[in-house]
Amino acid sequence: MNVYIREMKAHRKSLIIWCIGMIALIGSGMGKFAGFSSSGQSMNELMAQMPKSLQAFLGVGSLDMSTASGFYGVLFLYIGLLTTIHATMIGATIISKEERDKTVEFLFVKPMPRKKIIGIKLLAALTQVGILSIITWSASLLIVGRYSEGESIISDIGITMFGMVILQVLFLVIGTAIAASTKKPGKAATLAAAVLLVTFILSFAIDLSEKIEGLKYLTPFKYFEAKNVMDAGLELIFVGISVVLIGVLAVSTFVLYDKRDLHV
């Protein structure tokens, strides 16, 4: 339990900053919706006039931008990106930071097997991801609700948040698996961030070209897009792929870390 408390304290300040940042993002984003609404401009017409590349970058699809939930769906692209960045960095650093900071002795003096240490570290990482998710969910309900004008938003926000949590856990274990396998702990976060960036760019490229739509299974960012889940709900195939990947990567983290040599 000392390991759990130590990890929570080590990331406490950064978690607070992330939570404040998410609230600010949602607040400023929905503030822009209010600005467009009061100006009398048609958001749907404005977006339709934009180049396809810009529409893809903004995450515009079949969403009705004139509604609070539709505008939030566009904003969700950036909410999902930031929360997965947080999860990836937490996953990579929480496994490798003792080697990176030359404090491996802290783990050696603990009378517990490595697998138990990894389990506790994963629990601490999941706790932090969960806290950020709850703050993001609560802020979304409160802030979007302020601009909804009687529109039902609970189900739309709920289903996007559910998809976001799956993505967070998936990228968390991507980070832990990379950190457990690499021989250079200082580069674990960089490698994990590279994986996230490549998959995000791929999702953007798929929106630009229908010829590579078949590659959508290779990027988690296409699994739970707001424009799809708000209209048709979660696709079981993507949920299934995510669960399998999470299981495989979590097991890999335990196995690889248990076998590797820790450098003092």
Structure confidence by residue, pLDDT tens digits, 96-153: 776 655 555 555 555 677 788 889 999 999 999 999 999 999 999 999 988 888 778 8
d(CA 212, CA 214): 5
Let me know how many helices (H) and strands (E) the chain has, helices first: 11, 0
d(CA 198, CA 91): 18
d(CA 243, CA 241): 6
Residue 264 inside a domain? The answer is: no
Q: What is the pLDDT of residue 58?
A: 65
Structure tokens at 208: 């630009």
d(CA 206, CA 184): 33
Return the top range by mean pLDDT from 32-36, 80-84, 202-206.
80-84
Residue 129 inside a domain? The answer is: yes
Residue 79 inside a domain? The answer is: yes
Would you call 244 exposed, middle or buried from its count of C-beta atoms within 10 A (0-12, 13-18, 19+)? exposed
Residue 247 inside a domain? The answer is: yes
Over 50: is that where the pLDDT of 41 sits? yes
Average pLDDT, the chain: 85
Residue 144 inside a domain? The answer is: yes
d(CA 32, CA 44): 14
**Which amino acid is residue 91, in one-letter code?**
G
Q: What is the pLDDT of residue 65?
A: 77
Which tens digits make up the pLDDT trace of 183-213? 777 788 899 999 999 999 999 888 888 788 8
Residue 16 inside a domain? The answer is: yes
Q: State mean pLDDT over 78-91.
A: 95
> pTM for the complete prediction?
0.89
Work out the number of other CB atoms within 10 angstroms of the CB of residue 45.
10
Q: What is the pLDDT of residue 40?
A: 47
> Vertex 211, ends 205 and 212: CA angle to 5°?
50
Would you call 105 exposed, middle or buried from its count of C-beta atoms within 10 A (0-12, 13-18, 19+)? exposed
d(CA 45, CA 192): 39
Number of domains in the chain: 1
The candidate with the shortest Cα–Cα distance to 83, out of 21, 7, 146, is 21
Q: What is the pLDDT of residue 47?
A: 67
Print the domain residue range for 107.
2-259
Over 90: is that where the pLDDT of 251 sits? yes
